[in-house]
Structures are given as C-alpha cells and as structure tokens.
Amino acid sequence: MKTKTFILLLFLTVLSLGASAQGRMMPNLDKVTIFSKGAQVYRHKQVALQAGEQTLSFTGVSPYIDINSIQVKAGGNVTILGVSQRFIRPDSAMLSGQLRAAEAALKKARNRLAEVKAKRTVMKSQLEMVKTNSSTAARTVATPLEAIKQLNQYYYDETMAINKRLIDFDEEEQQANHNVEKQQEVIDSLAGLNTKRLTVIDVKVDAPRVSNANFTFVYYVNGASWYPTYELRSASTAAPLQLTYKANITQQTNEDWRNVPVTLSSANPNRSNVSPELKTYWLDYGLAAPTYDFGIDNNRISGTITDEEDNPVIGATIQVKGTTIGTVSDIDGHYTLTLPNGNRNVEASYIGMVTQVKQATGNRLDFRMENSKLALEEVVVTGFASKNTKSNVKFTAPVIKADREVKAESIADENSMDVSSTAAKFGYEFEIGHPLTILSDNKPVNCQIGKYQLPTTYAYKGVPKIDKSAFLVADVTGWNELNLIQGEATVFFDNSYVGKTILNPDQQSDTLHLAMGRDNGIHIERKLIKNNTSRRLLGSSRVQTMDWEISLRNARAEQVVISIYDQLPVSRNSSITVTPQELSGGQLDKLNGQVVWKLTLAPGEVKKLSLGYQVKYDKYRRLTIE
C-alpha cells in the first residue's frame, strides 16, 4: 500500500511540476455524487487573478468528462468568457529526468541487495568455521577441563553473535528486496505515463482588477457506478426480518477520490429525457402495426468515432444535422447524443477529415472517418459565452434536487455509517455520513446504507407438481420509506445460509414478498393413486379419471401456514370436457385450472389432500392426460 501511495504521489508531483511550468492548476475535490452509471464531481480552486482578460488552465481531472456537462462558476465580479477542454501528454523531458532518477535508485537498491547477500554468505562461512574448529578441539585427548570450558564458552558466544547477525541480514535482505520491487514499480509507472493523455480545462476570464477569485467546477464523468445488495436475516418464523442495505461502488475515471463526501443516486443521467411520440397507426391488408422498442431510449444514441486506422478520434464534432444540438467525442472517441423527435440524421466532422452524415436507425451509430487534404495540428473543443453574461457558464448537467426527505427507523450498528436517505425527482439519493476513499482501480468499495427490522409475516408455498420443496415467503410491510432499489439479496434463515434471491420493490402493493428459500423441515409428496385411475368408453367418447394424492408433514417445532398449488387441465376444445371430482376443499380457478389449498399444520402433523378429475373426449382422438 505504501508503494502505491508513493507512486501516486510521484504521479501527482509530475502533474504539479508540469502545471507550475505551464501555469496549470489542480482544483481541489469537494464531493462526488455517484449514479448507477457515471458520477458528478464537484471541485474548487482559489486563483490569484491579474486585471484584464486571461486564460486559466486546470488539470488533474478525468479524461472521461462529458464536455456538455461542465459547469464553471467564478466568485466576485469575474466574467467567464469561455470554457474549453483539451488533451495533452506529460512533459517528456521532465518524465525522462524522473525516469533516470528512478533507474539510479533501482541500481542502488539492487547493489544494496547484493551487498547484504554477500555479507550473509560470509557470515554463514564463519559459522561453519567455528563449528569445525570446535569439533577439532574437542577431539584433542590432552585438553584440560578449564580449556574445554573456555572453548565451549567461545563456541557459544561466537555462534550466538553470528546467528544474530544472520537474523539481521535476513531482515535487511527482505527490506532490500522490497526496495527493489518498489523502485521497479516506480519505473513501470513513469514509463506508463508516456502513453497517458491528460485533460486540461481552459477557462478564459475577464477580471476588472487584481483579486483572488474562487472557481467552482461541476462535471459529469463516465467510468463510475454503484449497485445495491441486501442481506436478509431471520432467526425463525416468529422473529422479525432484519434487512441490511449495502452499496457496492467502483470507479475507473483516472481520478482518485480520497476522503471525500459521497452521495449515491439511483438516477441514470444517460437515459433520454425526451418523451416518446406515437407513430400513425396505418391500417391496411398486409400492413403491420407500428412497433416500438420498449425500455430503450429511442432518442439517445451513442457510438465511437475512429480514423482510417481504427484509432479513436478525440474532439470530433457530432451534431444533429440542421440543428445546434451536438457534442464531441471523448478521449476514447466515444460520444452520446440526445436526438430531437423527428430528426435522426447525425453529422460527424473533424478538421482534416471528410464530414459524414448518417441516419440513426437504432441506439448505436459509429463513424469511421476518412482523411481529407487538410491537416490538423491541434484541436481544442471550446464553448464561448458572451462578455456580457454573468460570471458563470452553464452546460446541461445531471443535477438532482430533493423533493422530500424520508426518515426510516434503523438498527444501531457499530459498523454502519450515518446515511441520509432522500427521495429525489428522478430516483433516490443516499448521502453517506462519513467521507470515503474510492480509488480509480475498479476495485469495489462497500459501505452500509442502513440496517432495519421490518414487521413480517411468514408463510410457506408449495408446488409439488414441479418441486417437492416447501418455499418460505416473507411478507414485509413498512418497506416503502426505505427507498429500496432492485438488487440481489443474500438470505440467512434459522442461523443458516439459504441462498440468494432478488429483492424487487418495483411493485404497487404495500406488501413486499421476499423468497426466503427452501425449508427441509416440511415434507411434501405427490403421487398418482393407480387404484382410483381408470379409463372407459361411453358411446363415441372416452372417459378417463385421474386421482392424485398430496401428503404434507410438518417436522418443525412450531406451527406453520402453507399454501399448496396444483392444477386441473383446462379445455380449449368443445369436444373435451374436464370435470372436478375431489378437491379436498381446495379453491378452483376455472379460468386457469389452478387449485389452491391454504392449510395450517401443527408441529408433527400430517395432512393428505386429494386432487381428482374426469376428462371426457372423442374416443377416436389421442389425448395426453396426466
């Protein structure tokens, strides 16, 4: 961990040195809002301004910024004239110097490792020599007792001293190996910087006088996400259900978010906000009805801009033809664009390349650009504001404001964080009560949103025709105010791991039905009673009688409530009739043939149910009956 920290500090040093040399500054990180896909980042920087027009350059931000989302504000009477984004590489001369220094440090570390190994070898040789001399002296017949004592003491002292030195050398060798590995990682990291592009945000301002101004930045960045998981625990069917709400966060934005306030949002800013429109439903013979891609953002497209060699084109302009609606491609050549209703013609252009126009027929539209006779030295994507505008430039950004705050009763937990849960216009927001560190390594960071005890009633469900198991279902109330989101849940019942289920709160009912898994304490059997099953002829018809027996046994120590589901066949042919014979009090739904028994079983109780029916059909036709 120390090595990674050292490498990061070295990388930041490289950036800061480059920033100082070229007037670039790194804005400070204030907070982050993480969406189901993407994140909104908030930064600020205090800047000393000269009087008049000037351009400020800010770096250290992600290369995956959505240029259309950038908001920049300046305090005081400073007027922002324009905002632009460009990509640069770290100063090669500076990196070469850092690389030479790291290589020298690596050589020094390797020399130290070799020196320690040599000393260790010498010490081992000395130990063998002491052992040999002691053995030779012990074989001398005429050696006086006093001399033997002195020899033994000498052997003890020398052996102990050498072994202590060997232990020291072991530690020194381990440290030397660590230093070699650390220096090698530094070299690898510096070598990798040569291939990385850095993002620079240029802000052109007009200051009426020399002053200090605070600049704030808000932007949306791809490469971050979070999703919920749950833990459902119940000690027995007499205990309430304990629900633990967790968040799993990952990001690879090329920004390290260290010790920063985090808000989680269930909103998805990538979804189109343009309402769909109906197509004219022309009716004629052989003409199909209009179709719609349900669940797909028909007005939002994305794609990649590449050159003739399939390399990403950075900063290409993608625009809805004939409009001012457009965007630019990012560092990977990727773009997203929202289309207006009725216009799906998209134009891609880049200086030095032939402009292309395509029609978007789906949600994906890629462009492979061809070179023209023009050459491109550098491209800077810029948006300008009028000099008479206020001291800020705003682009569209996925800002989510709260409508109401919902309070939920929770269980005190020493491992939990204080989380403020809010229902927002386009989803839920969870403000984590403690700062988090989320590195750009795509490794999950887990945090607990809350832990709750919910009033619960338990019931069992069995469908023995398909599965002989009894499934425990928890009917939970009072969950509406917890702002739950669909996600995977790990289930524990009776102090045992049961398995996984899906928690789906996207329903209109006030009761949430949770599958708690199979219960081996309830035994269910379903078998055909052959003695009661018959087939006979009646005129031009054949009559077949079927009789099934369902047996249940409660091996648990407490009373259980269970619903058993089975069925009768349903005829869709007038020549086939189905007549119920014996249902043991079960409720029959004649539309779908489903039969339901709602039973209460005492501990150790055994109960049997009968399901009998008669089918009458044409004796000259073959009919499969079970």
Cβ-in-10-Å burial (0-12, 13-18, 19+) of 554 comes to buried
Lowest pLDDT segment from 193-207, 249-263, 427-441, 447-461? 193-207
DSSP states along 480-549? GGG----EEEEEEETTEEEEEEEE---SSSSSEEEEEEEETTEEEEEEE-GGG-EEEEETTEEEEEEEEE
DSSP states along 387-404? TTS-SEE--------EEE
Q: How many helices (H) and strands (E) does the chain have?
A: 3, 39
Q: Regarding predicted confidence, which is higher, 152 or 20?
A: 152
Question: Is the torsion defined by CA of 107, 108, 114, 117 positive or negative?
Answer: negative
Domains 300-380 and 523-618 share a fold: yes
pLDDT band of residue 142 (cuts 50, 70, 90) is low
pLDDT at 390: 40
Q: Residue 380: is its pLDDT beyond 80?
A: no
Q: Give CA angle at 80 (79, 85), nearest 5°.
A: 170
Q: Say how far apart CA 99 and CA 76 lie, in whole Å.
A: 43
Q: Residue 377: is its pLDDT beyond 50?
A: no
Strand order in the sheet with 496-503: 445-454, 241-251, 224-234, 487-493, 496-503
pLDDT at 22: 40
The answer to whether residues 482 and 501 touch, using CB atoms and an 8 Å cutoff, is no
Q: Residue 305: is its pLDDT beyond 60?
A: yes
Which 3 state secondary structure label does DSSP give 433? coil
pLDDT band of residue 532 (cuts 50, 70, 90) is low
pLDDT tens for each residue of 116-129? 888 888 878 877 87
Q: Annotate 38-52 with three-state secondary structure.
A: CEEEEEEEEEEECCE
What residue ranges do the domains of the chain occupy? 93-193, 300-380, 523-618
Cβ-in-10-Å burial (0-12, 13-18, 19+) of 374 comes to exposed
pLDDT at 16: 42
pLDDT tens for each residue of 576-588? 999 999 999 999 9
The residue-averaged pLDDT of 297-308 equals 83
Q: Regarding predicted confidence, which is higher, 113 or 435?
A: 435
Q: Residue 19: is its pLDDT beyond 60?
A: no
* Whole-number percent of the chain with pLDDT over 90: 30
Q: Say how far apart CA 497 and CA 495 lie, in whole Å.
A: 7
The answer to whether residues 515 and 569 touch, using CB atoms and an 8 Å cutoff, is no
Contacts of residue 559, defined as CB under 8 A and 6 or more positions apart, other chains included, come to 600, 601, 602, 603
| Phi, psi dihedrals of residue 332, rounded to the nearest 5° | -100, 10
CA 506 to chain centre: 20
The answer to whether residues 561 and 459 touch, using CB atoms and an 8 Å cutoff, is yes
The answer to whether residues 601 and 609 touch, using CB atoms and an 8 Å cutoff, is no
pLDDT at 332: 82
pLDDT at 53: 94
Kindly compute the dihedral angle of the four CA atoms of residues 385, 389, 390, 396, in this order, to the nearest 10 degrees: -40
Which 3 state secondary structure label does DSSP give 251? strand
Supply the DSSP symbol for 151.
Answer: H
pLDDT band of residue 222 (cuts 50, 70, 90) is confident
Q: Residue 193: is its pLDDT beyond 70?
A: no
Lowest pLDDT segment from 158-172, 237-251, 377-391? 377-391
pLDDT band of residue 99 (cuts 50, 70, 90) is low
Q: Say how far apart CA 392 and CA 382 lie, in whole Å.
A: 15
pLDDT band of residue 231 (cuts 50, 70, 90) is very high
Supply the DSSP symbol for 379.
Answer: -
pLDDT at 157: 76
Q: Regarding predicted confidence, which is higher, 539 or 117?
A: 117
Strand order in the sheet with 79-88: 24-25, 52-61, 198-207, 79-88, 381-384
Which of 441, 59, 8, 60 is closest to 190 using CA atoms?
8
The residue-averaged pLDDT of 278-284 equals 81
pLDDT at 421: 56
pLDDT at 274: 66
Q: Say how far apart CA 569 and CA 477 lie, in whole Å.
A: 36
Contacts of residue 193, defined as CB under 8 A and 6 or more positions apart, other chains included, come to 11, 14, 90, 95
pLDDT band of residue 564 (cuts 50, 70, 90) is very high
pLDDT tens for each residue of 484-529? 888 888 889 888 888 887 787 776 577 888 888 888 889 999 999 8
In CATH, what class is 523-618? mainly beta
- DSSP E strands in 539-588: the ranges are 541-554, 560-567, 577-582, 587-588
Q: What is the largest CA-CA distance in the chain?
A: 128
Lowest pLDDT segment from 277-281, 399-403, 526-530, 554-558? 399-403
CATH 3.90.1150.10 fits 300-380, yes or no: no
pLDDT at 81: 93
